[in-house]
Structure 1
Amino acid sequence: MAAKLRADVTLTETEAGGVLLDERAGRYFQLNRTGVLILRTLIDGRSVEQAAGVLAERYPVTADQARTDVESLHRSLTAAGLITE
């Protein structure tokens, strides 16, 4: 199942990456460029495995490290209530 931004969460991309605004809680979350790439890949309907593949293609990381990084960000965004499945 694809990840989705919660209805009251907005993503604004910046030169350095992006900012997520949780309007419900009034909190901001900052993402670097890699974080935005991962988030965009996930909300575009790709799986964690596919997002890890995209990350490994664009950056000099191993497939295992890319998967670990994607899983970690996915868990963090889910725990913060910013994305849903």
Structure 2
Amino acid sequence: METTGAEFRLRPDVSAAETDYGMVLLDGRSGEYWELNDTAAQIVQRLLDGQAPADVAQFLVGEYEVEQATAERDVAALVTGLLESGMVLR
């Protein structure tokens, strides 16, 4: 897992809105949206704030008492999905 600061940002036509359950990312170009639960929203927000994926995984280990490998796998899967969707840019 990457430990240096790869900067993530929303594509300019993607908007984010907090909800009672986490966050929604809306692609203004295609109308596609992602509804993120609270944990996924925290991951995305930390990445957008400049934290490296490894640091976000470490946060999950401390906050939710999950195994390091599980946290790294979950962060990597979310990052991959967001990058492949085009909503988030690196």
State the alpha-carbon separation in 1 of the partners of residues 65 and 20 from structure 2: 21
Runs of 4+ with >3 A deviation? none
Corresponding residue SS for 1:25: coil
- Give the superposition deviation at 1:18: 1.0
- Give the superposition deviation at 1:25: 0.7
Amino acid at match of 2:73: T
- Give the superposition deviation at 1:17: 0.9
Return 5+ residue gaps in structure 2 as ranges.
1-5
**Aligned with 1:8 (options 10, 13, 18):** 13
Return 5+ residue gaps in structure 1 as ranges.
none
Q: How many residues of Structure 1 are paired with residues of Structure 2 in the alignment?
A: 85
- Give the superposition deviation at 1:60: 2.1
**Aligned with 1:75 (options 58, 75, 80):** 80
- Give the superposition deviation at 1:68: 0.4
State the alpha-carbon separation in 2 of the partners of residues 55 and 7 from structure 1: 28
Corresponding residue SS for 2:86: coil
- Give the superposition deviation at 1:57: 1.4
State the alpha-carbon separation in 2 of the partners of residues 51 and 5 from structure 1: 17
CA distances 1:36-82 after superposition (whole Å, capped 9, x unpaired): 00001101001110110111111121111000000000000000001
- Give the superposition deviation at 1:26: 1.0
Percent of pairs identical after alignment?
Answer: 36
